Amino acid sequence: MWESRATSLSTAAAALPDVQPEARPHHGPAEPLSRLALGAIGIVFGDIGTSPLYSLKESFIGPHPLAVDRAHIFGILSLIFWTLTLVVTVKYVLIIMRADNKGEGGSLALLALIARRMPGKRWTEGIVLLGVLATALFYGDAIITPAISVLSAVEGLEVVNSGFAPLVLPVSIVILIGLFMIQAHGTARVGEVFGPVMLAYFAIIALLGLVNIAAAPGILVIVNPWWAVHFFALDPRLAFLALGSVVLAVTGAEALYADMGHFGQRPISLAWLYLVFPCLLLNYLGQGALLLVSPEAIANPFFLMAPSWSRLPLVVLATAATIIASQAVISGAFSVTRQAMQLGFVPRLKILHTSERAAGQIYLPFVNWTLLVLVLGLVLGFRESSKLASAYGIAVTGTMFITTCLLAVLLFSVWRWNRWLAAAVTGVFLAVDGAYFASNLTKIPDGGWFPLLIAGIVFTLLTTWATGRKLLRRRLSEASMPLEMLIDHPPRSITRVPGTAIFLSADPQGAPPALLHNMKHNKVLHERIIILTVRVEDIPYVDPEGRVTSESLGEGFFRMIVRYGFMEEPDIPASLGQSRQCGREFRMIETSFFLGRQTLIPSKQPGMAIWREHLFAWMVRNAESAMEFFKLPVNRVVALGSQMEI
């Protein structure tokens, strides 16, 4: 079963975007570097920027508590510093962000580069499965991030006044519900203030760090890796288990690569190197300095760094930052789902645009409300950010470990680095990511099971849809007939009628089932017949000049291919309206669209397990209709149904 699943995914991966090692220009409108960097600060770094709220605290009072003394404080902070340096700065900023597809990044882009450059390799199927699993783990991250971020910020109310403790849960729930409810209205206006708010947030947490460092400047020695080594020598078991909390400092690092298409490589790199990284480091150092002076502050060092009079405003600012971080991951879930949908891993879902200017501003109702239900379930089930931290780490480390595996293949087989250099680079990253992932596996009983459960469900859905589509196309191809035979020898009982008939077909070669059913039942053919295939190309956006291509087959038959980039939303009437091919212009009032709609019947034929066939049939029934997805005019569509065993 795994072999057939991997093979089908490898076939689907052929449609994934190709990437090149060299940097490519941003595909969007040209904007000043400073403006792009400010936008990146507001969107890209929201998740990793709010990590100081909980990461250091969890390292000491998490599932495996540590003594709040000099050796452990220095050891933990040294690990945090070198993790930020190696994982974010070196791995993502200096290496992985060089793999882009005309400005677009993300795990699917990295997977595409490998799958397309080595299509004949036997182990490519396993790489495709890893890429799909990384995508599945992303959804676990998208569920946990809003829950832990908002909870950890609102818990600052307990620091302001212990009497506020009963308000933490209801306030968090209200904020989360409001956050998901506004998604339908779009984030264009709110997005304009994201950058300045996060800029103020980073400036304030850096200032708090500096004030506390002044009280204990000795904390600066943690940049020496000897302290991390000393921590492992002091207590190897606890040091290994602490890695599960230390890695929370790099949550959101994947966003640097995934959001590269929105802002470009250079603005993100500059924002990280010259602002975000220094501010985060100062804040972590300040928390460590506070703990050296007042170990009891481990209850919540982030908020206790601030003077008592400023803690309530800091709670408000931190909550705003966590809302921004949550907004970024929710928008990311929308974008990833649309991209997976275009590439054939997800059924058609309803997509709404929330901005006339920004094509990336989209809203998927099904994804939004599913995320809200799961996020609220997490908050009500775990109730505290400390308990949620156990669930958080495994999704992050799992994704990072998979990315490193893909990076290893990239360096050796695609970019063809010097083997010794590639081995050294990947060896370091595999050791680091592997250690963090192994440490987080110990937290499965404490909540780590949740992202694994979500990833398992999503992985099953993605692979079932990709495999099911391949089986369905095979069955349709078996039942089809050559189009040339139909054109050369049409049935004598068929009457030609005025107008244009467009038959949507996934296979541009054979006669679509809807065409055969129309001839069988209605016994007519229109004077102009278009066999139209929608193809998703391996680039984010297709040049409008080459979007539509056609070929005359004779006797009024034409084969047409409409191309879209994997970041675009198909609109067939708009594309046809700009075309003057196939003899004359297209007038919707004279055009009929014929769609085939199959009712799938699970069977014992070779293919998938029977339960997966039932699942695929259910997904087909609940997918958005092709009429809505391709924006076809409602009063010009004819759907012809049939039953088919898979």
How far is residue 454 CA from its own chain's centroid? Answer: 14
Q: What's the confidence (pLDDT) of residue 189? A: 53
Burial class (CB in 10 A: 0-12, 13-18, 19+), 644: middle
Q: How many CB atoms lie within 10 A of CB 474?
A: 12
- Model pLDDT, residue 306: 93
pLDDT at 538: 64
pLDDT in tens, 273-310: 999 999 999 999 999 999 999 999 999 999 999 999 99
Q: For 497-512, what is each residue's pLDDT tens digit?
A: 898 999 988 777 778 8
pLDDT (tens digit per residue) in 588-634: 888 999 987 777 777 777 678 888 888 988 888 888 888 888 888 88
Residue 361: its pLDDT value, please? 65
pLDDT at 26: 40
Question: What 3 state SS string does 181-204 have?
Answer: HHHHHCCHHHHHHHHHHHHHHHHH
* pLDDT confidence of residue 631: 87
Q: Is the pLDDT of residue 19 over 60?
A: no
Q: Which of 421-425, 449-453, 580-584 has the lowest mean pLDDT?
A: 580-584
Is residue 646 very low, low, confident or very high in pLDDT (cuts 50, 70, 90)?
low
* Bigger pLDDT: 4 vs 638: 638
- 138-150 residue pLDDT tens: 888 889 889 988 9
pLDDT for 608? 83
pLDDT at 12 over 80: no
**Rounded-to-integer distance, Cα 57 and Cα 72, Å:** 12
Which tokens hold the place of 295?
Answer: 């170990």
Q: Residue 90 gets which letter from DSSP?
A: I
What confidence score (pLDDT) does residue 233 get?
A: 93
Cα angle 239, 243, 245; round to 5: 120
pLDDT at 315: 92
DSSP codes of every residue in 307-332: -GGGHHHHHHHHHHHHHHHHHHHHHH
Give pLDDT tens digits for 153-193. 999 998 888 888 899 999 999 999 998 888 877 655 555 56
Torsion of CA 427, 405, 123, 615, to 10 degrees: 160
> Can you spell out the DSSP letters for 112-157?
HHHHHH-TT-TTHHHHHHHHHHHHHHHHHHHHHHHHHHHHHHHTHH
- Mean pLDDT for 510-536 is 86
pLDDT in tens, 34-77: 877 887 888 788 889 999 998 999 889 877 889 999 999 999 99
Q: Among residues 474, 477, 470, 527, which one has the least CA distance to residue 500?
A: 527
Report pLDDT for 134. Answer: 85
> Residue 479: its pLDDT value, please?
66
What pLDDT, on the 0 to 100 scale, is given for residue 30? 53
SS3 290: helix
Q: How confident is the model at residue 13 (pLDDT cuts 50, 70, 90)?
A: very low
Q: Please classify residue 32 by burial: count the beta carbons closer than 10 Å to its beta carbon, then call 0-12 exposed, 13-18 middle and 19+ buried.
A: exposed
At 217-273, the pLDDT tens digits run 999 999 999 999 999 999 899 999 999 889 999 988 888 887 776 677 888 899 999
* For range 123-129, the mean pLDDT: 72
Percent of the chain with pLDDT over 90: 31
Tokens of 166: 């009963």
67-97 per-position pLDDT tens digit? 999 999 999 999 999 999 999 999 999 998 8
Q: 2-467 maps to which CATH number?
A: 1.20.1740.10
User: Domain boundaries in the chain?
Assistant: 2-467, 482-645
What is the per-residue pLDDT for 475?
Answer: 78
For residue 461, the model assigns a pLDDT of 93
**Which backbone phi and psi does 83 adopt, to 5 degrees?**
-70, -45
pLDDT tier at 326 (50, 70, 90 boundaries)? confident
Q: What is the overall mean pLDDT for the chain?
A: 83
Determine which helix (DSSP H) or strand (DSSP E) holds 261, and give its type and residue range.
Answer: helix 260-263
Tell me: the pLDDT tens digits for 386-438? 888 878 888 888 888 888 888 888 888 888 888 999 999 999 999 999 999 99
- Of how many residues is the chain composed? 646
> pLDDT-based confidence at 377, cuts 50/70/90?
very high
385-409 helix and 236-246 helix, angle to the nearest 10 degrees:
90
